[in-house]
Chains A and B, each alone.
Chain A
Amino acid sequence: MRSVRQRLAGWGLVFGLLALAAVAGAPLIGSTRISLARAFDSAVPFADNVDAQIFFIARLPRVIAGAVVGACLAGAGVVLQALLRNPLATPFTLGVSAGAALGAVLAISLKLQLSLWGVSAVTGASFVGSIGAVAIVYALARARHRGFSTNVLLLAGVTLNSFFSAVILFVQYLSNPADTIQTLRWLMGDLGIASYTPILAALPMAAFAFVAFAWLPRALNLLSLDADAAASRGVNVVRVQQVAFFSSSVATGAAVALGGPIGFVGIIVPHLIRLLVGSDHRVVLPISALAGAAFLVACDVVARTAMAPVELPVGIVTAIIGGPFFLWLLIRKR
Chain B
Amino acid sequence: MKRQVIAAILAAVAMAGFMAGSMAAAPPYPQRIISFVPSITEMLFLIGAGPRIVGVSSFDHFPADVEKLPRVGALIDPDLEKVLSLRPDLVITYGSQADLSAKLATAGIATFSYRHGSLAGIPETLRQMGSRLGLDQAAAAAASSLERDLNGVRDRVRGAKRPKTLIVIGREPRSLRSLNVSGGIGFLHDLADLAGADNVFADVARESLLVTTETILARAPELILELHYTEAPSAALVEAETKTWAPLSAVPAVRNNRVVLLFGEELVLPGPRVIETARVFAGAIHPELTQTPR
Binding site for B on A (CB under 8 A): 30-32, 46-50, 52-54, 57-59, 108, 111-115, 120-123, 173, 176-178, 181-182, 185-186, 190, 192-195, 304, 308-311, 313
A-B contact pairs, 17 of them (CB 8 A): A31-B212, A32-B217, A48-B249, A48-B250, A53-B247, A57-B213, A57-B247, A57-B248, A58-B217, A59-B214, A108-B172, A112-B173, A115-B240, A120-B173, A173-B76, A309-B201, A309-B212
Q: Is the CB of A111 within 8 A of B173?
A: yes
B137 at the interface (CB under 8 A from A): no
Known A58-B212, A309-B211: A186·B173 in contact at CB below 8 Å: no
B180 within 8 A of A: yes
B75 lies within 8 A of chain A by Cβ: yes
Say which residue of A47, A176, A186, A308 sits within 8 Å of B249 (CB atoms).
A47
Contact stretch, chosen from B23-31, B124-132, B186-194, B229-237 = B229-237
Q: A30-B214, A52-B250, A113-B237 are in contact. List 13 more A-B contacts (CB 8 A).
A: A32-B214, A54-B214, A112-B173, A120-B174, A178-B170, A185-B210, A186-B172, A194-B213, A308-B215, A309-B209, A309-B219, A310-B211, A313-B210
Chain B, 250-267, contact with A by CB distance < 8 Å: what is the 0/1 string? 100001000000000000
Assess the B173–A195 pair: CB atoms within 8 A: no
A181 x B173 contact (CB < 8 A)? no
* Cα separation A47 to B246 with both chains bound (whole Å): 10
Task: Give A53 to B254 CA distance when docked, in angstroms.
Answer: 13
Chain B residue numbers with a CB within 8 Å of A195 are 175-176, 247
What's the minimum C-beta distance from B47 to chain A, rounded to whole angstroms? 26
A121 touches B173 (CB 8 A): yes
Hey, what's the 0/1 contact readout for B51-75 against A, CB within 8 Å counting as 1?
Answer: 0000000010000000000000001
Interface residues of B, Cβ cutoff 8 Å to A: 59, 75-77, 169-180, 201, 204, 206, 208-215, 217-220, 229-230, 233, 237, 240-241, 247-250, 255, 268
If the complex has contacts A113-B173, A181-B170, A195-B176, are A304 and B249 also in contact, measured as CB distance less than 8 A?
no
In the assembled complex, which residues on chain B have CB atoms less than 8 Å from the CB atom of A59? 214
- Given contacts A185-B210, A309-B211, A113 and B204 within 8 Å (CB-CB): no
Q: Which of chain A's residues have a CB closer than 8 A to the CB of B268?
A: 178
Given A32-B218, A176-B59, A182-B170; A311-B176 close (CB under 8 Å): no
Assess A186 versus B178: contact at CB under 8 Å? Given A48-B250, A53-B217, A311-B212: yes
Taking A49-B250, A122-B175 as contacts, is the C-beta distance between A54 and B218 under 8 angstroms? yes
Within the complex, the shortest CB–CB distance from A27 to chain B, in Å, comes to 11
Chain B residues positioned under 8 Å from A123 (CB to CB): 175
Contacts of B247 in A (CB 8 A): 53, 57, 194-195
Given contacts A57-B248, A115-B174, A190-B177, are A310 and B240 in contact (CB under 8 A)?
no
Q: How far is the CB of B187 from chain A (nearest CB, A)?
A: 15
Contact in complex: A192, B250 (CB < 8 Å):
no
Output the least CB separation between B71 and chain A (Å): 13
B145 to chain A: closest CB distance in Å? 29
Contact, CB under 8 Å: A32 / B215? yes
Do the beta carbons of A185 and B178 come within 8 Å of each other? yes
CB pair B174 A192 closer than 8 Å:
no
Closest 6 CB pairs of A and B: A58-B214, A32-B218, A120-B175, A115-B174, A58-B213, A194-B176
A254 to B176, CA, bound (A): 19
A50-B217, A54-B217, A121-B173 known; A182+B178 contact, CB < 8 A: yes
Q: Is the CB of A122 within 8 A of B248?
A: no
In this complex, what residue of A is CB-closest to B203? Answer: A309
Question: Which chain A residue lies CB-closest to B171?
Answer: A182
- Could you tell me if A190 and B75 are in contact, using CB atoms closer than 8 angstroms? no
Closest B-chain residue to A197, C-beta based? B175
A254–B41 CA distance with the chains assembled, in angstroms:
46
Other-chain contact of A181, B180, B206, B217, B219 (Cβ < 8 Å) = B180
Residue pair B214, A177 in contact (C-beta under 8 Å): no
Closest CB-CB distance, B232 to chain A, in whole Å?
A: 13
A97 nearest CB across to chain B (Å):
18
User: Closest residue to A53 on the B side, CB-wise?
Assistant: B250
Tell me whether B172 and A122 are in contact (CB under 8 A).
yes
Cα A182 to Cα B177 in complex, Å, equals 10
Chain A residues positioned under 8 Å from B204 (CB to CB): 309-310
In Å, the complex CA distance between A176 and B180 comes to: 15
Cβ distance A101 to chain B, nearest Cβ, rounded Å: 14
Q: How far is the CA of A111 from the CA of B212 in the complex (A)?
A: 22
Residue of B206, B218, B241 with most partner-chain A CB within 10 A: B218
Report the bound CA distance from A113 to B169 in whole Å. Answer: 17
Contact A193 B177 (CB under 8 A): yes
Q: Is the CB of A182 within 8 A of B215?
A: no
Contact B240 A50 (CB under 8 A): no
In the complex, A111 Cα to B177 Cα: how many Å?
A: 14
If A57-B213, A113-B237, A193-B177 touch, does A50 touch B172 (CB 8 Å cutoff)? no
Query: Which residues of the other chain, B, contact A108 by a CB distance below 8 angstroms?
Result: 172-173
Q: Identify which of A49, A52, A304 contacts B214 (C-beta below 8 A).
A: A304
Residues of B within 8 A of A113 (CB): 173-174, 233, 237, 240-241
- Contact between B213 and A114, CB atoms less than 8 A apart: no
Residues of A close to B237: CB separation below 8 A? 113
Residues of B contacting A30 with CB < 8 Å? Answer: 214
